[in-house]
């Protein structure tokens, strides 16, 4: 029966008929109930038998604040889960290319919160953590968390304040559009939200948007409704929400890391982008976390990370084992190519010019895609280690340099004269 106002409820049959001419005025929820939106803004709910429920007037409880009332009151401090990066009571998007490690990074930050410890000098707010992962099975999370707790000097039984919801083999959609295109929460979301209300995590991680969002990612309205649903949870239980997402091809090419509609970026207050470090000579285990949007802080900041033993550590600039193996491969390839070139009678030198060794080597089919910069770095390492050397040859009036493998230097050639 109606509350707050004594109006007769519209018939459900009439509302259904009217919806043929006014799409979006009625929708059926997953629990079998109907929601009818009257043209005057009234909202009625009906159970599955067609009986009217509680009447609600749209926007009945919208606050109307006079800022003058704040005079003389202390200004509330902004609350952060991670200072300058992840605000409380808001949704933060963490974009990352496939395979770069965004799920691992989010898991590590959430675990550090539950362990009440620092990680990567981010100092996350200590407290319970909830991680919903739609891409990995429980066994994979077990392996990753084992590495994470080991890195921080803890054991698995120290994760008592961490809760994991693995959904790799299940329907993970949290919100889907109804017939009128309005995003509605699923039974799964209601279950997760109810649990979060009891567990009271300080951080909720949702991995990833592609698996959890059932709408059209290029429709701004649906994206904003989905983000709004997540923000409502963040406000209701006073937590931070991190939503993981893959960037679009355009986002990857431009370096923005964005995906789909601009509403994804515009609807959140913070957005981070995790990428592999770029360049020919970089460590393949290095990553860069960049602030792409920060309504409450600075954008453009970078944190350099490195994958090490199943978790992330701050990059100290030292070569990792992976980079050492890659350099060794380039060094061996350089010597192999140099030996083949000298056997062919061709001459190469370390100096820039037509006979520049790295340039000539990089153009050969047996260079296996190794770049000129990588071969240049290999040449400098080999020269420093005396594994290759520069030999001067030719008559005194026209001396020329030849780069050779040191082990293939069989002594000076016979003196040449003019």
DSSP string, 41-84: SEEEEE-TTS-B---EETTTT-----GGGGTTSPPPPPPEEETT
- The H-or-E segment that residue 155 falls in is none
* Tens-place pLDDT, residues 250-288: 777 777 777 777 889 999 999 999 998 876 657 788 999
pLDDT band of residue 25 (cuts 50, 70, 90) is low
What is the predicted pLDDT for the residue at 414?
47
* Tens-place pLDDT, residues 182-236: 999 999 999 999 999 999 999 999 999 999 999 998 898 999 999 999 999 999 9
Query: CB within 8 A of 97, min separation 6: which ones?
Result: 246, 247, 252, 274, 275, 276
| Cα 164 from Cα 106, distance rounded (Å) | 13
Q: What topology does CATH give the domain 322-408?
A: Arc Repressor Mutant, subunit A (1.10.10)
What is the predicted pLDDT for the residue at 314?
92
Residue with token string 């009678």: 345
What is the predicted pLDDT for the residue at 1?
38
Q: What mean pLDDT comes out for the span 134-147?
A: 96
- Report, in this order, helix, strand and coil percent for the chain, each rounded to 5: 35, 25, 45
- Examine the pLDDT at 301 and tell me if it is beyond 60: yes
Q: What mean pLDDT comes out for the span 29-33?
A: 60
Which has the closest alpha carbon to 203: 275, 147, 132? Answer: 132
Distances (CA, A) of 276 to 171, 205, 212, 226: 30, 22, 25, 29
Q: Residues 308, 169, 163, 126: is their CA dihedral positive or negative?
A: positive
Pairing of strands 183-185, 286-294: unpaired
Which has the closest alpha carbon to 171: 134, 132, 133? Answer: 134
| Cα 323 from Cα 316, distance rounded (Å) | 14
Which residue(s) pair with 206 in the sheet? 132, 243
Q: Is the pTM of this model over 0.75?
A: no
Which has the closest alpha carbon to 88: 202, 169, 178, 175? Answer: 202
Architecture of domain 80-318: 3-Layer(aba) Sandwich (3.40)
Average pLDDT, the chain: 84
Which residue(s) pair with 115 in the sheet? none
pLDDT band of residue 94 (cuts 50, 70, 90) is very high
| Cα 193 from Cα 195, distance rounded (Å) | 5
Q: What mean pLDDT comes out for the span 69-95?
A: 94
Q: What is the 3-state secondary structure (H, E, C) of 173-242?
A: CCEEECCCCCEEECHHHHHHHHHHHHHCCCEEEEECHHHHECCCCCCHHHHHHHHHHHHHHHHHHCCEEE
Residues 78, 79, 85, 86, Cα dihedral to 10°? -130
**pLDDT > 90: percent of the chain:** 53
pLDDT band of residue 38 (cuts 50, 70, 90) is low
Query: CB within 8 A of 89, min separation 6: which ones?
Result: 79, 231, 234, 235, 238, 239, 240
**What letters, b where the CB count within 10 A reaches 16 and e where it falls short, cover 219-233?**
bbebbbbbbebbbeb
Which has the closest alpha carbon to 141: 120, 113, 162, 116? Answer: 162
- The H-or-E segment that residue 111 falls in is helix 102-115
């Amino acid at each position: 029966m109606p509350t707050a106002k004594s109006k007769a409820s519209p018939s459900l049959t009439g509302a259904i008929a009217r919806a043929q001419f006014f799409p979006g005025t009625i929708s059926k929820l997953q629990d079998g109930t109907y929601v009818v939106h009257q043209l005057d803004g009234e909202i009625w709910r009906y159970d599955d038998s067609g009986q009217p429920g509680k009447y609600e007037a749209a926007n009945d409880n919208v606050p109307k604040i006079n800022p003058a009332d704040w005079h003389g009151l202390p200004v509330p401090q902004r609350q952060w889960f991670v200072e300058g990066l992840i605000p409380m009571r808001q949704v933060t998007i963490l974009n990352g290319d496939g395979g770069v490690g965004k799920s691992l990074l989010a898991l590590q930050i959430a675990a550090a919160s539950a362990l009440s410890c620092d990680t990567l000098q981010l100092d996350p707010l200590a407290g319970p953590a909830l991680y919903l992962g739609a891409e990995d099975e429980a066994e994979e999370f077990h392996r990753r968390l084992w590495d994470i707790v080991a890195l921080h000097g803890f054991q698995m039984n120290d994760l008592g304040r961490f809760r994991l919801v693995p959904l790799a083999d299940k329907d993970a959609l949290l919100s889907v559009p109804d017939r009128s295109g309005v995003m509605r929460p699923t039974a799964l979301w209601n279950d997760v939200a109810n649990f979060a209300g009891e567990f009271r995590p300080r951080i909720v991680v949702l991995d990833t948007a592609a698996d959890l969002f059932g709408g059209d990612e290029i429709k701004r309205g649906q994206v904003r409704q989905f983000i709004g649903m997540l923000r409502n949870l963040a406000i209701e239980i006073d937590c931070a929400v991190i939503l993981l997402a893959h960037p679009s091809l355009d986002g990857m090419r431009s370096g923005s890391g964005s995906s789909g509609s601009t509403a994804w970026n515009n609807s959140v207050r913070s957005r981070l982008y995790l990428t592999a470090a770029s360049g020919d000579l970089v460590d393949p285990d290095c990553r860069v976390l960049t602030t792409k949007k920060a309504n409450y802080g600075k954008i453009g900041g970078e944190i350099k990370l490195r994958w090490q033993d199943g978790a992330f550590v701050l990059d100290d600039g030292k070569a990792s084992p992976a980079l050492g193996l890659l350099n060794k491969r380039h060094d061996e390839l350089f010597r192999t190519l140099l030996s083949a070139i000298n056997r062919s009678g061709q001459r190469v030198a370390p100096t820039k010019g037509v006979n520049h060794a790295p340039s000539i080597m990089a153009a050969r089919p047996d260079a296996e895609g190794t770049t000129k910069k990588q071969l240049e770095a290999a040449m400098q390492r080999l020269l420093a280690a005396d594994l290759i050397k520069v030999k001067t040859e030719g008559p005194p009036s026209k001396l020329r340099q030849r780069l050779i493998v040191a082990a293939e230097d069989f002594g000076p050639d016979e003196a040449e004269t003019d």
